[in-house]
Amino acid sequence: MSFHARSPMTLALAVAGLLLGAGGAPAHAGGPPVDQAAGAATPASTTSSLGKAFGPSTPDQIALVEHLRNKGVVFYGAFWCVHCFKQKVLFGEQAGNRLPYVECAKDAAGAQACSAADVLAYPTWVMGNERRVGVQSLQELAVWTQFNGPTSFSDAKPGL
């Protein structure tokens, strides 16, 4: 399984380096955004930091991401993580932009949220007390979260 591991010290150094490289100003303040329509525990997506997906989402991908949001699933990652980008790409553009994503490496608030969730590697998916580490296929996410919608996903894990 491919993923990026991190320690609290590594993350602290990475955040400090990013802040210094950005003139000391965090990318956004106040912690990860929260999508009030989906419930207080579901963060709004900030996956724009991961790059743009290659193509449009299918209705099945959109239905799955809305299911993940409704279940309170959270995807933790870092803007520099190639595997996090690959994870987003599996969803296509529209669904990828709706992922319940927390950016762990752009500012202190994100780093604190990831530390509080005990995220030790990227990407990490959390649902309640359960977690999955590494790139997950859409089918794996559907089974894990008991998605009952259409699952005609063509999502082999790309280039792993």
**Architecture in CATH for domain 4-18+38-144:** 3-Layer(aba) Sandwich (3.40)
All structural domains of the chain with their residue ranges: 4-18+38-144
Ranking 26-30, 54-58, 101-105, 156-160 by mean pLDDT, the lowest is 26-30
What is the per-residue pLDDT across 68-126, written as a single tens digit (0 to 9) for each? 999 999 999 999 999 999 999 999 999 999 999 999 999 999 999 999 999 999 999 99
In this prediction, residue 35 carries a pLDDT of 38
The three-state secondary structure class of 21 is helix
DSSP H or E segment with residue 121: strand 121-122
Across 52-68, average pLDDT? 89
In this prediction, residue 43 carries a pLDDT of 64
Separation of first and last alpha carbons in the chain = 8
The predicted model scores a pTM of: 0.68
